[in-house]
Structure 1
Amino acid sequence: MRKKTIWVIDDDAIYQIIVNKIIQKSEMFSAISSFKNGKEAIDVVTNSLNNCESLPDIILLDINMPIMDGWEFMEELETLKSSITKQIIVYIVSSSIAIEDKNKSKTYPDILGYLSKPININDLVLIASND
């Protein structure tokens, strides 16, 4: 199985540290990138359209963030989708238990799942092995 690249988009600095350690410990990913909000990540996506190999295979996306939240990120990603030749799978990772958020996540074809924080190594194994 080819190791995939993963991005974590989340404004919680402590959670970023924890999830990065879990990802490293899993040894299932070839590269990890972290972003504090959707705007930082969408800027990298936009700048990488000519080199889709630098885009991630998987994104762990928080919903509630400043500057650009998870839903705004998904809207921007949708507008860029026609220029992206690589499939990017998104998992919402949120502390929100609102049924509206879970239902909204199902309206995006690129969102494969909705996970509650904190994610664990078993979640990562499922994510990494899901082709």
Structure 2
Amino acid sequence: MEQIKKVLLIDDDTVTNMMHQRIINKSGRAQEILVATDGLAALEILEQHISDNETLPELIFLDINMPRMGGFEFLEEFEERGIGANGQKIIVMLSTSLMKSDHDRAQADPNVHCFANKMIGSEEFLGFVEEALLIRPT
């Protein structure tokens, strides 16, 4: 079973991160899981990977509402810094928000693959892995 190299969880909720880590670990489809508790910490992780010439996460789960830097602010910086320039990663925006404006804003961002409700399940995660594998450079 083919694996992706890295998954990045960006969420300030410890329980959500633990549950997603459990699902990802149980699937056996990711070699490494990185966790950031806000957008700023996530940008630091990504920039460190770039600086160290390491593989960037192929799959990113991004919460909307977080302290210091939320999901939409992260996306603005992600774009501005050119981190997603190669387009070889999938960003899934996660939220419990029922606001149509959040859904519309996420769908309008070219870096966002899709909007999903927290918590993702095992089957949903496996679907995202398959999509990430399809866009992986050969």
- The two structures have a TM-score, normalised by structure 2, of 0.87
Per the alignment, do residues 73 and 92 of structure 1 end up closer, same or farther by CA in structure 2, a change over 3 Å counting?
same
Mapped pair 1:126 → 2:127:
yes
Whole-Å separation in 2 of the counterparts to 1:41 and 1:113: 19
Aligned equivalent of 2:10: 9
Aligned equivalent of 1:49: 50
Per the alignment, do residues 54 and 98 of structure 1 end up closer, same or farther by CA in structure 2, a change over 3 Å counting?
same
Does the 8 Å contact 1:46/1:80 carry over to 2?
no
1:88 Cα deviation from its structure 2 partner:
2.2
Unmatched runs of 5 consecutive residues or more in structure 1: none
Deviates more, 1:51-60 or 1:119-128: 51-60
1:47 Cα deviation from its structure 2 partner:
2.3
Secondary structure of 2:125's aligned partner: helix
Aligned equivalent of 1:31: 32
Secondary structure of 1:61's aligned partner: strand
Code of the residue aligned with 2:129 in structure 1: it is A
- The two structures have a TM-score, normalised by structure 1, of 0.91
Code of the residue aligned with 2:18 in structure 1: it is I
Aligned equivalent of 1:114: 115
1:28 Cα deviation from its structure 2 partner:
1.2
1:54 Cα deviation from its structure 2 partner:
3.1
Code of the residue aligned with 1:60 in structure 2: it is F
1:27 Cα deviation from its structure 2 partner:
1.1
Code of the residue aligned with 1:3 in structure 2: it is Q
Aligned equivalent of 1:64: 65
Code of the residue aligned with 1:42 in structure 2: it is L
Whole-Å separation in 2 of the counterparts to 1:21 and 1:119: 11
Whole-Å separation in 1 of the counterparts to 2:47 and 2:110: 20
Whole-Å separation in 2 of the counterparts to 1:3 and 1:9: 20
Q: How many residues were matched structurally?
A: 131
1:121 Cα deviation from its structure 2 partner:
0.2
Matches of residues 66-105 of structure 1 in structure 2 within 5 Å?
66-81=67-82, 85=86, 87-105=88-106
Does the 8 Å contact 2:90/2:112 carry over to 1?
yes
Whole-Å separation in 2 of the counterparts to 1:120 and 1:83: 26
Identity %: 28
Unmatched runs of 5 consecutive residues or more in structure 2: none
Whole-Å separation in 1 of the counterparts to 2:48 and 2:70: 19
Per the alignment, do residues 51 and 87 of structure 1 end up closer, same or farther by CA in structure 2, a change over 3 Å counting?
farther
